[in-house]
Amino acid sequence: EGATAPLEALKQLASLRRVVVVLSQADRAPGASTAGLAEAVATASGLAPRLTSVVTSVAPGSGAAQGVEALEAVLAERVRDAVGDGGDGPVLTRARHRAHLEDCVAALRRFAHAAGGAGAQPVAGEDPLPAGAEAGAMSADMAGEELRMAVAALARVTGTVDVEGVLDDVFASFCVGK
C-alpha cells in the first residue's frame, strides 16, 4: 500500500480542473530522471492533460533553486489565471463580488439602451436586452428600475445596506398565513 497510496491520492483529484504536483527530494528517486519521474506521475495518475509537475530537491548540486523558481512560476501563473493580473482594473477575490458587478453592468447597459444611448448592446455572457427592445422605447419608471437594480448590485459589493434589503432578508424566512 505504501507505494500506491500517493497515486490513489492523486486519482482523488480527478474532479479538479488543474493540478500542480510538487515532487520533492527528487535526488532520492532510484535511477529515475526528473523528467521521467514527472511523466510517470502524470501517466499513472490519469491526470496527464491537467497535471503540472514541478521537481524540487535541496541536495547540493541538484539545482534546488531552479526547482523553486519553477514552482514560483507555476503558482504565479495559477494566481493570475484565477484573479487576473490587475492590469485591466481592480482585482476581484470573491466570485460573488464579480457576479454582483456583472449584474450592475448589465443593468446599466439596459438603462443606457432604454435612454437611447450608444454602445448599450450587451456583451457576451450578459443578460440580453429585452426582445424587440428599441433604444429609448422603455418607460421612464422601468428605466429607473434598471438604475435601482444597478445601485443595489453595487451596494452588495460595497457593503451598503438599505432597510428594504434587510426586511426582505428577515421576512424571506417567515411563513405567513399558515
Give residue-wise pLDDT tens across range 129-164.
554 555 556 777 787 788 888 888 888 888 776 667
Are 156 and 98 spatial neighbours (Cβ–Cβ below 8 Å)? no
Helix (H, G, I), strand (E, B) or coil at 91: coil
pLDDT value at position 119? 47
For the segment 61-70, what is each residue's pLDDT rounded down to a tens digit?
665 556 777 7
Answering whether pTM is above 0.85, one says no
Q: Which helix (H) or strand (E) holds 51?
A: strand 51-55
Please give the distance of CA 78 from its chain centroid, rounded to a whole number. 11
DSSP code at position 30:
T
- Give the residue among 113, 148, 118 at the shortest CA–CA distance from 133: 113
